[in-house]
Chains A and B, each alone.
Chain A
Amino acid sequence: MSSTSRTLVACFLLGSLLLIVVWSTLEGGLPPADFTFINESEVKSVDPALISGQPEGRIATSIFEGVVRNDPETLEPIPGVAKSWEISEDRLVYTFFLRDNARWSDGLLVTAYDFAYSWRRFLDPRTAAEYAYQAWYIKNAHDYSLGGSGIQPGDPVEIELNLPPTAINTLRGEVLHGKLIRIIPRRDEERDFLVEIDGKEITYRPTDDSEAARNDPPEGVAWCRQVLLDFREVGIKVIDELTMQITLENPTPYFLGLLGFYPLYPVNQKCLETYGAPQWTKADNIVTNGAYKIVFRRIRDRIRMIKSEYYWNRENVRLELVDALAVESLTTALNLYLTDKADWIGDVPPPAMRELIREEPPRNDLNPVPYLSSYFYFVNTQIKPLDDVRIRRALSMALDREEITSKLLPAGEPPSLSLVSPGIENYRTQTADAENPELARQLFAEAGYPEGHGFPRLEILTNTHEAHQAIAELIRKQWQRVLGITVKTRNEEWGAYNASLRLGKYDLARRGWIADYSDPNTFLDMFTTNSEQNSTGWSNAKYDELLELAQIEPDPDKRFRLLEQAERILLDELPMIPIYTYVSKNMVKPYVRGFYNNVRDDHPVWAMWIDRSQESPNPFLRGRQ
């Protein structure tokens, strides 16, 4: 090869590199959206049954709609797909009347059958829905979603037969109905089910489709996918196309609100069964029933949504084109917001918050307010000396929460002495003993550790995160100062930290809780003896009983009094030490309207619009100091 041609080759190579760059970026040029918000991380899915996070919720709430919606300001349930409903005297039976103009994005009517289909799928153990417990308030729903573990001899059951492994994975196999005679345990957790169908007894053995297609079942046994409680036993009943009746296990005052929460949104059966999962979630395939539909998705970049022409309330949806950007870094998100590339960000990095909140005159796009949430420390009550309630109370009383929040939490997070954060109407806030170093030292002396002498070294466990570590450090100093005890801090990566909590390998551990629904129960039921969330080892029979009583109490007022008593016990016994309440950290451009601060930091896009004239007052800034 001559030197000239070699140079030519090199130039050509470089040139083609440039071409690649240009080519790949040209197709990326997009018309700007009317409204752009930062949706933090890439969504796990757009399938409402499979998701559990806030970013996912924002998308699901835009493209789907439940039986009810939650008002963007008060979060009270307002009509969604249902135009009205009736609740029985005992608050157990809900009858929903669906509107006759709620349509899917393919133009077809949203019916009661769609909800029955979606909720059955949601409860099906094969769907493996993380949020399944959100539907366990419905009668027998819990047993249904336990699959083979939820049935007992004598129960009416349904048997789902296998399909060929090549079948579309969202299809259900043929369903037979019968009565369970006996469960025959096999090795490990596997079981056979002896079922009577039309007077004939058959033994079913659950297996997966490929196994069933490859091998004939052993003598005297028939293959099936799974044996479940008969779905007709579950309190979900379709009366006619536009009417359905839901029967609950217990009177659950917040049930209506849950129906406006994304796990119970409907999905389109035809769409699912035509494309299978997850292909049905592709922008080209998906059929939705909400205010928006998906135009396209680019992984870890954006989801673009456009107003749906079939949505029943389309006249009141005012943003045409909406972009949800998946930007993981808080600083990057803030940069985009400050350079007008985004209209709403949901979080601000703490160092920047410190500056922004201090600006004079105050910014007209920032108004942090507390929401239903709690930041606290778990106390491992199973180890000495933390099993002594005096020690736990002293630790709590020795804390200067004011110092923690003012020094380390720039957004104005309020110090807290309760588990249930304020903001639930009619619920009287309970508080633990306030700061009292004198009494704390006295309690320590009573427990046998005067001035901290002989007190073993305690350790505070946090997950690895700057803010948590800083708080733990300050608390360490405060306890050292007031009680004269040695405390150290340890941080672990998320997975390890969770494992340590579960195994009880900690003394004190940082924990946060954000309400799933606006009711004290979402906080209180994490400390019952059997709760998966309760890693403190604390157990109190009276507390459990109060929560159970509250569950069956139909009168909302009496119910709250029971829950208050329960929280009282908790705050006297202190298996957890409350520290502060989280605040929302939204920054919203001043021309955005329909954005309200509320107690769950929940902001549906369908309620928002843009008012460039900015003549109307901005409700977002209401109540700002």
Chain B
Amino acid sequence: MTSFMVRRLLWMAITLLVVYTVSFFLMRSVPGGPFDRERVLEPEIMKNIEKRYNLDKPLYQQYLIELGKVVRGDLGYSYKINDYTVNEVIAEGLPISVALGSLALIFATTLGLVAGVTSAVLRGTWGDVLLMLIATLGIALPNFVIAGICIILFVFLLPLFPAAGWGDFNQLVLPAFCLGAPYAAYIARIARTSMLDILSQDHIRTARAKGVGPLRLILVHALRGALLPVVSFLGPAVAGILTGSLVVEQIFAIPGLGSHFVQAALQKDYTLAMGLVLLYTLLLYVMNWLVDLSYALLDPRVELE
């Protein structure tokens, strides 16, 4: 167990370094910089600005300076929103993205499980076909299309929710739904498959023979076994929801990490983009790690090596 942890930590450090290095040089190799304007700056002013941000130094020196700061936990000042450090931007944006992601995850699991289990039980009926059709649509439609449809339906036709913004629970419902919808669809399909698998097994037949009621049979005996594949999907799902909120946050004007990331990339805000790339890498890595751990917790046959 300990050696597993240590090894994972080491790999994480290496992964972060590689990701940092690759994205640093990729980003700087794109033509143009954070200070490109419609109006070309006077050369003297440009020189002053580049000096201030160390952009006048050779690339490898910039890399070493920046890396040194990052190792010390200082992600530097944002190039495009000068009044904030990258750490401050993350501190403000992360809780928002986590809140949005949590609600999306709740939507995804509840909707997905209910739909999956129902369609497994109703196997072969039109209800099953309909549910799986919706699930396929949910996977196939990108979330900005779902968002567009939701806005037309629930903002303009039936004014139930506000169009965008951040501040109260109402504003969170539509974006969380749009963000969670594809995952709900995945979960529904996974739950259905594993449920069908379990329902045909011997212990279920035994339970049924012993006279266990259909509700108890499904919810207690079958569902527990069917949950494992769903749980193992939750790790990537959490990571996906947290790092995949870029478009949804833009559409609903939510000031989370996704909005920051998109803007940082578009505006060539080197420091902010680098900081968020690192954070996303870290999130993905930690999530996968947790999934591995939870496997061991949920299934005694799995051993951590």
Q: Which residues of A contact B (CB under 8 A)?
A: 1, 3, 6-7, 14, 17-18, 20-22, 24-25, 28-30, 41-47, 50, 52, 125-130, 132-133, 145-147, 149, 278, 281-282, 297-301, 325-329, 331-332, 335-336, 338-339, 341, 493-499, 502, 511-514, 532-533, 535
User: B106–A14 contact, CB under 8 A?
Assistant: yes
- Is A341 a contact partner of B162 (Cβ separation < 8 A)? yes
Interchain CB contact under 8 A, A17 and B105: yes
Within 8 A of A (CB), among B119-156: 151, 155-156
Mind listing 30 A-B residue pairs with CB under 8 Å? A7-B224, A17-B102, A18-B103, A20-B102, A25-B169, A25-B172, A28-B168, A30-B167, A43-B81, A45-B82, A46-B83, A47-B82, A47-B83, A128-B45, A129-B45, A133-B42, A133-B45, A281-B83, A299-B89, A299-B92, A300-B93, A301-B255, A327-B164, A328-B250, A335-B155, A336-B164, A339-B155, A514-B38, A532-B41, A532-B42
In terms of DSSP, what is the predominant structure of the interface of chain A?
A: mixed
If A299-B88, A495-B33, A498-B36 are given as contacts, then 12 extra A-B residue pairs at C-beta distance below 8 Å, sorted by A number, are A1-B297, A21-B106, A21-B169, A50-B82, A52-B37, A132-B42, A300-B260, A300-B263, A326-B253, A339-B159, A493-B31, A511-B38
Q: A45-B82, A52-B37, A532-B42 are in contact. Are A20 and B32 (CB under 8 A)?
A: no
Asked if A325 meets B45 with Cβ closer than 8 Å, knowing A6-B298, A332-B251, the reply is: no
Within the complex, the shortest CB–CB distance from A258 to chain B, in Å, comes to: 15
Contact B96 A24 (CB under 8 A): yes
Report the bound CA distance from A329 to B255 in whole Å. 13
Q: How far is the CB of A608 from chain B (nearest CB, A)?
A: 21
B66-83 residues with Cβ-Cβ distance < 8 A to A are 77, 80-83
CA distance A52 to B42 in the complex (A): 14
Nearest chain-A residue to B103 (Cβ)?
A21
| Known contacts A24-B95, A299-B255, A496-B31; is-contact A341 B49 (Cβ 8 Å) | no
The residues of A that contact B42 with a CB separation of less than 8 Å are 132-133, 532
* Smallest CB separation, B227 vs chain A (Å): 8
Contacts of B158 in A (CB 8 A): none
0/1 interface trace, chain B 84-95, chain A, CB 8 Å (1 if under): 100011001101
With A25-B168, A133-B42 known to touch, is A278 a contact of B31 (CB < 8 Å)? no
Q: Which residues of B contact A282 (CB under 8 A)?
A: 83
CB distance from B93 to the nearest CB of A (A): 7
Contact assessment for A300 and B259 in the assembled complex, using a CB-CB cutoff below 8 Å: yes
Q: Which residues of A contact B164 (CB under 8 A)?
A: 327, 332, 335-336, 341
Task: Check B98 against A335 for contact (C-beta < 8 Å).
Answer: no
Q: Which residue of A lies closest to B77 (CB)?
A: A278
Q: Give every chain A residue within 8 A of B260 (Cβ-Cβ).
A: 299-300
Chain B residues, CB < 8 A from A335: 151, 155, 163-164
B189 interface residue (CB < 8 Å to A): no
How many Å lie between the Cα of A56 and that of B118 in the bound state?
A: 54
Given contacts A300-B255, A335-B164, A513 and B49 within 8 Å (CB-CB): no
Tell whether B214 is near chain A: CB-to-CB under 8 Å: no
Among A21, A43, A47, the one with the most B-chain Cβ atoms within 10 Å of its Cβ is A21
Contact code string B8-45 (vs A, CB < 8 Å = 1, else 0): 00000000000000000000001111011111111111
Bound together, the chains give a CA A534 to CA B13 distance in angstroms of: 48
- Provide the bound-state CA to CA distance between A532 and B46, in Å: 11
Q: Bound state CA distance, A533 and B155, in angstroms?
A: 45
What is the CA–CA distance of A297 and B81 in the complex, to the nearest angstrom? Answer: 12
* A170 → chain B closest CB, angstroms: 13
CB distance from A502 to the nearest CB of B (A): 7
B92:A533 contact, CB within 8 angstroms: no
Given contacts A44-B81, A278-B82, contact A128 B51 (CB under 8 A): yes
Residues of A within 8 A of B151 (CB): 335
Whether A21 contacts B102 by the Cβ 8 Å rule is yes
Contacts A42-B81, A341-B165; A25 near B99 (Cβ below 8 A)? yes
If A129-B45, A132-B45, A532-B40 touch, does A339 touch B253 (CB 8 Å cutoff)?
Answer: no
CB distance from A301 to the nearest CB of B (A): 4
Instruction: Let me know if A130 and B41 touch, CB within 8 A.
Output: yes
Q: Which residue of B lies closest to A498 (CB)?
A: B36
| B256-289 with Cβ < 8 A to chain A | 259-260, 263, 268
CA distance A241 to B43 in the complex (A): 36
Task: With both chains docked as a complex, state the minimum distance between the C-beta of B276 and any C-beta of chain A, in angstroms.
Answer: 13
Nearest residue, chain B, Cβ from A42: B81
The answer to whether A45 and B48 touch (CB under 8 A), given A14-B106, A25-B172, A339-B159, is no
Shortest CB-to-CB span from B54 to chain A, Å, is 11
> Would you give the shortest CB distance from A465 to chain B, in whole angstroms?
12
Is B166 engaged at the interface, CB distance under 8 Å to the other chain?
yes
Closest to A132 in B: B45
Q: Which residue of B lies closest to A9 (CB)?
A: B297
A121 to B39 alpha-carbon distance, docked (Å): 23
Q: Are A328 and B263 within 8 A (Cβ)?
A: yes
What residue of chain B has the Cβ atom nearest to residue A18's Cβ? B106
Collect the chain A residues with CB atoms within 8 Å of residue B263's CB: 41-42, 300, 328
Bound form: Cα–Cα A493–B167 in Å: 34
Contact B44 A146 (CB under 8 A): yes
Q: How far is the CB of B156 from chain A (nearest CB, A)?
A: 8
Residues from chain B with Cβ under 8 Å of A300 in the complex = 93, 255, 259-260, 263
Which residues of the other chain, A, contact B80 by a CB distance below 8 angstroms? 42, 44
The answer to whether A44 touches B96, judged by C-beta atoms less than 8 angstroms apart, is: no
Q: Nearest chain-A residue to B38 (Cβ)?
A: A512
Chain A residues within 8 Å of B40, by CB: 498, 502, 532-533, 535
- In the complex, what's the smallest C-beta–C-beta distance from A300 to chain B, in angstroms? 4
Q: B252: CB under 8 A from chain A?
A: yes
* Residue B52 lies at the interface, judged by CB distance under 8 Å to chain A: yes
List of B residues within 8 angstroms of A127 by Cβ? 48
Interface centre among A24, A41, A300, A326 (most CB of B within 10 A): A300
B43–A532 touching, CB < 8 Å: yes
Report the separation of the CA atoms of residues A21 and B156 in the bound assembly, to the nearest whole angstrom: 26
Closest residue of chain A to B238, judged by CB? A17
Query: With A25-B168, A329-B251, A329-B253 in contact, do A45 and B81 touch (Cβ < 8 Å)?
Result: yes
